[in-house]
A and B are shown apart, each in its own frame.
Chain A
Amino acid sequence: MARLTLDHVTKSFADFDAVKDVSIDVADGEFLAVLGPSGCGKTTLLRLIAGFEKVTSGEIRIGGDVVSNSGGSVGPERRRVGIVFQNYALWPHMSVAENIGYSLKVAKLDKAVARQKVEDALALVNLQGLGERRPANLSGGQRQRVALARCLVAAPSLVLFDEPLANLDVHLRASMEDEFAAFHERTGTTIVYITHDQTEAMALADRIAVMDRGRLVQLARPRDLYHEPANEMVASFISQGILLTADVLTGEESGHCKVRVLGSELVVRCRPGERPRAGAKICCRSADIEISADASGFDGLVKRAVYQGGAARIEFSPKAGPDLILHFEQPDPVVLENGAQARLRIKSGWLIPAAGTAF
């Protein structure tokens, strides 16, 4: 187990920066998820940590040892990291036990000790007795567990997960998620978990690093990421946040300030020290929107109402901004229909900090 530090890490391919100036400090035993849309650089980041790619500039330290900087790079075989690959990467020509025991054999460990360790690892992932099977004869979930056992048998200082659930069907996913959480709890290993699935990241991680176009855009606890996105990208990426232009009317006072949105005033949460400004953005969630019961709020048109069982997803465009689409759910009984006029109200929101302010 070890702490992982990325210090201003940049990786360029020709003239394209796949990872740009990323600094993350992962505490010993922490579960960090790296989340982002495809092409955001998260896989490159994993390959940099594992040592398959060399950094262009910056430094990577594992447990205090420098493993990569612009001067050179320690080979992956000497980093003592474990990886669970997206497609498991089990060697088809070896049995399950041989797969798991491979790193012990490479390290020339005593055979009896190695056999015992393999047995223990198999037991840990509930695969007792399957040691002689070939990977081809296992189910998807079982292969995933063999991959887990294989990376844990060497007691790595750091475990990297590369979208490990992407190839599993939905219902296996949930159970594997539980399995990963239990794995983390049992071993206490530092984990870096790459994914594009935010519910997965939210469910598992202590902290989430959101990446976009090679940059780290926010590093925060799942709750904070949802409630206090640092910029527009995070706000709209996480849970389909709705972005609205707002004028900040008052300065921050105990974490709140008054803003004007779509012609009506409301109080939103904000960072300490916010001052009145024009052209700001607020992020609100569909749960923050409701049908106005009184004169407050704004008028508009229901563009589409899609009944989804128990509730309808309403797409609404306000009169003050006909190009905008606000979406929210109306539980049964659904009264809004296509083309209906309605008056909505925003209960709450989050004032996105001005660009350039530190998070």
Chain B
Amino acid sequence: MPTRIRESRGQEMVLTAAAAVVIVLLSMLPMLRLVKEIVAPGGILSTAAVEAGLRSPATWIATWHTLVVGIGGTLLAVLSGTLVAVLVSLTDIRCRSALVLCYVMPLMIAPQVTALAWLQLFGPASPFLKLFGAAPPLGTKNPLYSTSGIILLLGVQYGPLVFLLVRAGLRKLPRELVEAARAGGANWFTVLATIVLPLMTPSIMAAAALAFVSCVGNFGIPAFLGIPANYLVLPTLIYQKLAGGGPAVLGETAFLSVLIGMIAMAGILAQEVMSRRRDYRISSTSLPAEPYELGRWRPVVQAGMWLLIVLVLVLPLFGLVLTSLVPGYGIALTAKTATLDNYRFVLFEHDAATRAFFNSFWLSIAAAFFAVIVAVPVGYLIAWGKQRWVRLLNLSVELPYALPGVVLAIASLLLFLRPIPLTGIQLYNTVWIILYAYLARFLVLALRPTISGYHQIDRALEEAAQVAGAGLFTRMRTIIFPLVAPAAVAGGLLIFMTALSELTVSALLWSSGSETIGVVMFSFEQGGDSNYAATMSVVTVAVTFALMLVTNLLAPHLPNGVLPWRD
């Protein structure tokens, strides 16, 4: 009998070991390397790097700025996201799905594209304002190059994130709790203030923490809006240091990136503490409450909502498209001046730009494909596995995505600055280091939907195959993969969309020949060629929207909440 036992557990061991190796390589190794650089650079315990970092006034200024825009952006995102979630979830507003789709859309657009779009809208060269002759004179400072500009755009970018979490919470709110309060004589606003919002505290807190981490780690918006005004936050400070000093300053930037990581962690911890102070658990499940009838206010509220959509989505994208059609900076757009030359230039003529499209496409496809392949077995171990330590795997996969992207980028640089031991393979200064960072950072985007896919599948389906005599690998291939494939593939498509116009990681890792779309867009904008940057943005946004449509085809086979833009 002992041999039979060993045989039947063999495949599970192989699977577990392989999953553990992948996760150690992608998630734990970079984090450990980063910590080692801070604690013991060069292998000797030393506090020199920390001390140098703490002495520099630039560190303190950038930290202060990071906190200001982080907290400001979070507040704006929480206020707007919660308001929209309450209006959409609890009232009888019309066209709900369309509203949700449009409101969530900015989340699918890369932050630097959002930044560029808004800059084009309000700047002195704005083709949009020129349409009415309302543009400020050339040479005026763009009002968005400021602290409040950064906070505004962070709020716009991450409001939808808060919206999604609060809306998910509101959907679980049992209607009895609302109806009991109404029956007790409370009017709608009293119910909202005394019942609904207090019960939503955990959702709102979690959303705030997530928004805070995103705001603090955001690179695109402070890079486009802050660098011209010389307003540096920690991610942009790291970028500038590395761009100026190269690998020599890696130790210093490692300290800065750990600092960002700690600020982000502090946000998450604060949320934990706040949520534990009271019992918010909702025990019963039931249908959602009847929507509140807005009555004669309905047209007003609806108009307000659509105005918001126009402001945060339609106008910026419209401005972006207009800019992409203008032949040069500051030229007004008319039927005569409109041209597609910019598109021809970035797609076919400019070397770096065409290379960037090629690089970003294959990097995104490779990252998405790999993540799907890994997510199915790892999700299996996490969702259905019996070993407790596997749950640790889950946590460590979350880490590279939960922490700001610069943290992972610096960790990857440290890891691959020198050739890989024993093999002599050099990843530094090649496109492969970007691929590594993408794999590490985005794996969780495919893993999360896959795990929720597993939770929706009846385990008996696998057990039935097991008693039919199928070993683990056979079951994986014939039963499990076909069943979780829609969720895993949807996760892969999310990865593709995110990675395609990604900037934070590649801005620190790119080298000549391995430019990404985000990097080239950024350098166009820095060089004053906003038209080209806008053109590239329009192309990526168009690709993203097309993919969203394709992904929608999978929707009937997916667990709720996998596609953020689906209501």
Q: Hey, which bits of chain A sit against chain B, CB under 8 A?
A: 50, 52, 65-67, 71-83, 85-87, 89-93, 102-103, 106-107, 150-151, 154, 156
Contact = CB atoms under 8 A, between A and B. Distances in A.
A171 B140 CA distance: 82
A71 B2 contact: yes
Interface string B1-38: 11011011100000000000000000000000000000
Contact of A78 (B4, B458, B478, B483): B4
A87 B4 contact: no
B468 A103 contact: yes
Interface string B379-392: 00000000000000
B334 interface: no
B470 interface: yes
A74 B8 contact: yes
A236 B403 CA distance: 60
Interface in B69-87: none
Contacts of B2: 71-72
Given A107-B469, A150-B468, A78 B8 contact: yes
Interface string B459-485: 011011111111100100011001100
A102 B8 contact: no
A353 B5 CA distance: 43
Given A75-B9, A89-B464, A91-B479, A103 B469 contact: yes
Given A77-B469, A78-B469, A102-B465, 10 more contacts: A66-B1, A71-B2, A75-B4, A76-B467, A77-B467, A83-B463, A92-B483, A93-B482, A102-B468, A154-B468
A106 B468 contact: yes
Contact of A87 (B5, B8, B458): B458
Nearest to A67: B1
Q: Which 5 A-B pairs have the closest CB atoms?
A: A75-B8, A103-B468, A89-B460, A72-B5, A89-B464
Contacts of A66: 1
Contacts of A86: 460
Given A93-B483, A106-B468, A52 B474 contact: no
20 contacts: A75-B4, A75-B5, A77-B470, A78-B7, A78-B469, A79-B467, A82-B467, A83-B463, A85-B463, A85-B464, A87-B458, A89-B460, A90-B461, A91-B479, A102-B470, A103-B468, A103-B469, A150-B464, A150-B468, A154-B469
B64 to A, nearest CB: 50
A176 B542 CA distance: 56
Contacts of B461: 89-91
A77 B8 CA distance: 8
B259 to A, nearest CB: 42
A106 B479 CA distance: 12
Contacts of B460: 85-87, 89
A72 B9 CA distance: 11
Contacts of A71: 1-2
Most buried by A among B2, B461, B471, B474: B461
Contacts of B467: 50, 76-77, 79, 81-83, 151, 156
A196 B465 CA distance: 26
A82 B466 CA distance: 10
A73 B469 contact: no
Nearest to A52: B463
A202 to B, nearest CB: 27
B470 A106 contact: yes
A78 B468 CA distance: 9
Most buried by A among B465, B469, B478, B482: B469
A347 to B, nearest CB: 47
A86 B466 CA distance: 16
A115 B513 CA distance: 57
B474 A83 contact: no
A83 B9 CA distance: 21
A118 to B, nearest CB: 13
A85 B460 CA distance: 7
Nearest to A100: B468
Most buried by B among A80, A87, A103: A103
A89 B463 contact: yes
A76 B12 CA distance: 13
A152 to B, nearest CB: 12
Given A89-B461, A93-B482, A74 B5 contact: yes
A201 to B, nearest CB: 22
B6 to A, nearest CB: 8
A78 B482 CA distance: 24
B4 A102 contact: no
Contacts of A72: 1-2, 5
Contact of B471 (A77, A80, A93, A102): A77
B1 A74 contact: yes
